Amino acid sequence: MSRSLVSIMDGNTYLLSNDRGDISAAAGPQTGLYSFDTRHLNQWHLSLNGERLNTLAVDDLNHFETRFFLVPGAATHYVDATVSVIRHRWVGASFNEELTLFNHGMSPAPITVRMDISSDFADTVELRQGSSGPRKGRTCVRVEDGCLRLTYERESFVRETIVSSSEPALVDERGMTFEAAIGPHGSWQTTLHVETVLRGARGRDVRANLAAHRGRQRPEMRQEHDEWLKSAPSLRAESPSLTATYQRSLTDLGALRYSSWTYPERLPMAGMPWYMTMIARDALITCLQAISFTPQLSVPTLRLCAAGHGTVSDDFREEEPGKVFYEVRYGESGAFEDLPQAADFSAADTTPLFVVLLDEYERWTGDQSLVRELEYETRKALDWIDQYADLTGRGYVSYQRRNQRTGRLNQGWKNTPDAISYRDGRLPGYPLATCELQGYAYDAKLRGARLARLVWGDPAYADRLEREAAELKDRFNRDFWIADRGYYAVAVEADGAQVDALTSNIGHLLWSGIATEDKAAQVVEHLMSDQMYTGWGIRTLATDNHRYNPIGIHTGMVWPFDNALTAYGLRRYGYDQEAARVAEGLLAAASRLDGRLPGAFAGYACDQTKYPVTEPGMGSPQALSAAAPLMLLRTLLGLEPCEGRLTVQPAVPEKIGLVELLDVPGPWGRLDAAAARGRLPASVRPEHQAALQILPR
């Protein structure tokens, strides 16, 4: 998403406009007012006396509120402008825009104010796929009691947009017109109110029971966000850009939360503009990256993943018993099964990641009650790995789409059609077992064993899981290792053929721990080579592979979360300097992007560009990328929970300098962790001695 687009959001309701505040096809095809996967406004265009407005400045007040400072006419007229406009807008239970016109002249100014308004009620999934066409339902536009009411109806699926104003307006089916007579040095103001309504089978708004849709006011919303920020550890650092990135990450993670129809606690959404809903993979990895800072985010994520696990075998949704869903959608395509997104299970990694997060949550909080609560679902998830995911009988988690019409070819995190290929560009066959999936399964079995022994009181089950994990590790290191290349295959086909592209997936093998020590050195050498490492981060695909494209989503771009997991894995295997290089590069990239990392950026080497090259189609903010700097901080400080204590093993680059993380939450209460120019802290507070352990580098 281009920076020229301006966003405000509150939960699942959000608005995207150009930098003049307008919504239209000309302003950008993704601009609009959205709520729960439906676009409620596709035109919101302001003009004065028939002239469009031009931007002086945009003031981003917070995630749900912004102001535009505008003047009419061409840019050459700015210096002579006698009229200016402020568009102050905010979104919460509804969307509001306060228009204020100023007459800076010495004579009266009669001004015709026009707001063109329309809605196409497009489904966000269809917009994302570029397949949005004529609606299958009926759209009705009415003028009632000074309001403009736009309604879309398809059987029991009803969506409405109701626009009203505080000042009298001439309302027609295409918008509202105001005749403002402004005296010398005077002003005129009106507030436009836009209500989005999602009617269900009984005719009432399906969001009626959600606290976020009960008319919260801006002061309350600001207070909620301030409390979110205060709940996280405080960062003190010599690097101002690191501090700014940290604050931006926490702010974006706080903003990217919403309440689903079925679950009241606020869940992490994947991100702007097309993924403002629960994408289980993104939510689970986001929580894993942020666990040291905001462990409370994991609780609703785990509960919803457990509640939404598969119970039957369904080819259309690719559902299986014990499998954790991929995404949940609320739009028309899901409601009528035009697409399977209402409850889509086409992901092979969400299920083991669910187990990994549950164990990590217990390690960081000591909350065994949640582990007991979710025991049944966790066992079912572990069963799925062996009973349903092994499509070839070779003992590996594999995938092959069952929904031949709309299913995804690739079902790992690299899920574009060309994401997995041979070095020479050939595409593999299916079923396909990608390497990182085996690492996740290995980690899930070990963590499941820990929970079984510690919480569930089932040592026999724990022994079995540990034995299976060891066997998987041995088998994997035999079948995936390409000896003459010195790295792991990105995947193996059903017949055992090694898909030999060099990809960033191998970094996840260090994070999960499935790589053996004797092979790690060669893996690290490849990851940090010029073919993979750009200076900003590690590419998804090496430059000497046939499908390499620096702006290919999974064939050359740099993904911050991918790099954050790899950096953690590098430290896990003792490669502190390499981990620091990856962290330093990503944090440097963030500093050139106002502290906000996009979902991905181009794989150009840093000596080719002064700043990371972003793509208009790559959304921002994204939860995965917002959480990545948090995991990098954890990695640099070497933060690990260990039997109720917090261990710290800093390895901070000299360029970053002093880093202090205060009030890290855990079973120990709140503890501080610090690293002074890469060295150990000089002293530890006496009250922290029992719970804080400083490890030598």
Higher-pLDDT residue of 351, 671: 351
- Please list the residues that pair with 198 across neighbouring strands: 159
CA distances from 692 to 310, 415, 640, 670, 684 (A): 41, 41, 10, 10, 8
- Please list the residues that pair with 178 across neighbouring strands: 113
Q: How confident is the model at residue 74 (pLDDT cuts 50, 70, 90)?
A: low
Predicted confidence (pLDDT) per residue in 369-393, tens digit: 999 999 999 999 999 999 999 999 9
Report residue 481: phi and psi, to 5°.
-75, 125
- Inform me whether the pLDDT recorded for 211 exceeds 70: no
Quickly tell me which residue has 């997995």 as its tokens. 420
Residues 675, 658: contact at Cβ < 8 Å?
yes
Quickly tell me which residue has 């499908």 as its tokens. 547
- Say which CATH class 346-519 falls into: mainly alpha
- Inform me whether the pLDDT recorded for 79 exceeds 70: no
Please state, in angstroms and rounded to a whole number, the distance separating the CA atoms of residues 479 and 497. Answer: 9
What is the average pLDDT across 100-107? 94
Q: How confident is the model at residue 81 (pLDDT cuts 50, 70, 90)?
A: confident
Higher-pLDDT residue of 337, 364: 364
Which one of 2.70.98.40, 1.10.357.10, 3.30.470.10, 1.10.10.10 gives the CATH number of domain 6-218? Answer: 2.70.98.40
What is the average pLDDT across 93-112? 94
Average pLDDT of the chain, as a whole number: 91
Q: Using CB atoms within 10 A of its CB, is residue 377 exposed (0-12), middle (13-18) or buried (19+)?
A: buried
- Inform me whether the pLDDT recorded for 143 exceeds 70: yes
The confidence score (pLDDT) of residue 340 equals 60
Which contiguous run of DSSP H or E holds residue 215? none
Q: How confident is the model at residue 619 (pLDDT cuts 50, 70, 90)?
A: confident
What is the average pLDDT across 507-520? 98
Q: How confident is the model at residue 687 (pLDDT cuts 50, 70, 90)?
A: low
For the chain, what are the domain ranges?
6-218, 232-291+301-308+528-697, 346-519
Predicted confidence (pLDDT) per residue in 452-477, tens digit: 999 999 999 999 999 999 999 999 99
Predicted confidence (pLDDT) per residue in 320-352, tens digit: 999 999 998 888 877 777 766 567 899 999 999
Tokens of 590: 């963030």
Read out DSSP for 50-90?
Answer: TEEEEEEEEEEEETTEEEEEEEES-GGGGGG--EEEEEEEE
Tokens of 278: 């629960």
The confidence score (pLDDT) of residue 217 equals 77
Report residue 410: phi and psi, to 5°.
-105, 135
Please state, in angstroms and rounded to a whole number, the distance separating the CA atoms of residues 67 and 90. Answer: 9
Read out DSSP for 301-327?
Answer: HHHHHHHT---S-BTTTTB-TTPPPSB
Please state, in angstroms and rounded to a whole number, the distance separating the CA atoms of residues 309 and 216. Answer: 32
Which contiguous run of DSSP H or E holds residue 139? strand 138-144
The confidence score (pLDDT) of residue 1 equals 39
CA distances from 267 to 261, 299, 346 (A): 11, 9, 20
Please provide the size of the chain in residues. Answer: 697
The confidence score (pLDDT) of residue 655 equals 87
Quickly tell me which residue has 């060295």 as its tokens. 679
Tokens of 91: 């979104």
Helix then strand then coil, in percent of the chain rounded to 5, is 30, 25, 40
Which contiguous run of DSSP H or E holds residue 206? none
Residues 6+ apart with CB under 8 A from 514: 438, 439, 442, 443, 472, 473, 476, 477
The confidence score (pLDDT) of residue 93 equals 80
The confidence score (pLDDT) of residue 682 equals 37
Quickly tell me which residue has 């893996």 as its tokens. 523
Q: What is the pTM of this model?
A: 0.92
Please state, in angstroms and rounded to a whole number, the distance separating the CA atoms of residues 607 and 430. Answer: 39
Predicted confidence (pLDDT) per residue in 238-283, tens digit: 999 999 999 999 999 999 998 877 777 889 999 988 899 989 999 9
Higher-pLDDT residue of 344, 298: 298
